Chains A and B, each alone.
Chain A
């Protein structure tokens, strides 16, 4: 898939606004400043997407949500298990009971609303699922939610960290081939 410079800028812009919106919602929830590194996008195959995300057998906690609507995809929120426990503790203290699913809902909901507005398409998130296990085992199993015949995926990624506690998580949006085409069609070409 060949992208023009303008299409590449538009995809970077989608990454920026969606992760930016998610970060500000997280900041309100955690009552703490959230720093986001420069969000980026990559075009990957299903086989290489999991390698792009990280080390194979490192233990991680993953929150995963499906994206439904005009385009389909998945959202992965990855963090060290100790970070997940710490976030859970902090959120429980401010009265959020099922902390990690709620965190997934808030990050996904805000990011998707921003993308929906930007692209004028409807994107809705599913209920979250959570597991802690080897990174590749989780990612590969999640990626199949894009459909078994998907080869190319659009991967948007960013790392967020809380300024005081230094807790950090990586967030990924993956879109299947058909949805990637759809997104590229609606973004400005020139």
Chain B
């Protein structure tokens, strides 16, 4: 079954399901896969760092990855078994997003730092550029497929 993950959300599921998300621009998508259990999670996050006032929801990379990892650990996943994919972080507009570090880049940087803090290595990475992406994550094989608009 194909399960669609919305923006600012994540889903934990197991084989034979496929997790997918569409229209990823400056957002980042993180796929975490535990091969021994054929179990994984896909998250689609919008912004890098949650302000102190942000209490619930999965809009920000840092807090959402904490929650996503907790959910996986509860399902019996071991951190050292995780395969990590990082996708997205594009710059969709030239004039509007012309600041030195645009949101896409900052999202990617935030996710990288989070993986480093948690001792995880990125196994697959497709980030940056200026195109939108669709992502499908097959929990049977662990294969992450990326379709780009351009």
Which 10 pairs between the two chains have the least Cβ-Cβ distance? A136-B23, A137-B25, A137-B132, A134-B132, A56-B22, A56-B23, A57-B22, A141-B92, A134-B23, A129-B95
* B interface: dominant SS: loop
Asked if B17 lies at the interface with its beta carbon under 8 angstroms from chain A, I say no
Are A129 and B96 in touch, CB under 8 angstroms?
yes
A166 to chain B, nearest CB (A): 26
Cα separation A59 to B133 with both chains bound (whole Å): 11
Asked if A127 lies at the interface with its beta carbon under 8 angstroms from chain B, I say yes
Tell me the chain A residues, 38-88 only, with Cβ under 8 Å from chain B.
Answer: 46-47, 50-51, 56-57, 59, 64, 66
Contact partners of A129 in chain B: CB under 8 A: 93-96
Contact partners of A46 in chain B: CB under 8 A: 46, 59
Which residues from chain B sit less than 8 Å from chain A, CB to CB? 6-8, 22-27, 46-47, 51, 57, 59, 90-97, 103-104, 130-134, 149-150
Q: In the complex, which residue of chain A has the Cβ closest to the Cβ of B60?
A: A148
Are B149 and A133 in touch, CB under 8 angstroms?
yes
Question: Which of B47, B94, B95 has a CB less than 8 Å from the CB of A144?
Answer: B47
Cα separation A127 to B103 with both chains bound (whole Å): 20
Question: Which of B8, B24, B97, B133 has a CB less than 8 Å from the CB of A47?
Answer: B8
Cα separation A111 to B9 with both chains bound (whole Å): 35
Are A137 and B24 in touch, CB under 8 angstroms?
yes
Cα separation A140 to B28 with both chains bound (whole Å): 12
Are B103 and A137 in touch, CB under 8 angstroms?
no
Cα separation A136 to B6 with both chains bound (whole Å): 11
Are A47 and B149 in touch, CB under 8 angstroms?
no
Cα separation A145 to B25 with both chains bound (whole Å): 14
Asked if A90 lies at the interface with its beta carbon under 8 angstroms from chain B, I say no
Whether A47 contacts B25 in the complex (CB less than 8 A), given A134-B149, A140-B7, A144-B103, comes out as: no
Are A138 and B7 in touch, CB under 8 angstroms?
no
B128 to chain A, nearest CB (A): 13
Are A133 and B25 in touch, CB under 8 angstroms?
yes
B22 to chain A, nearest CB (A): 4
Cα separation A131 to B92 with both chains bound (whole Å): 7
Are A144 and B7 in touch, CB under 8 angstroms?
no
Contact partners of A47 in chain B: CB under 8 A: 6-8, 46, 57, 59
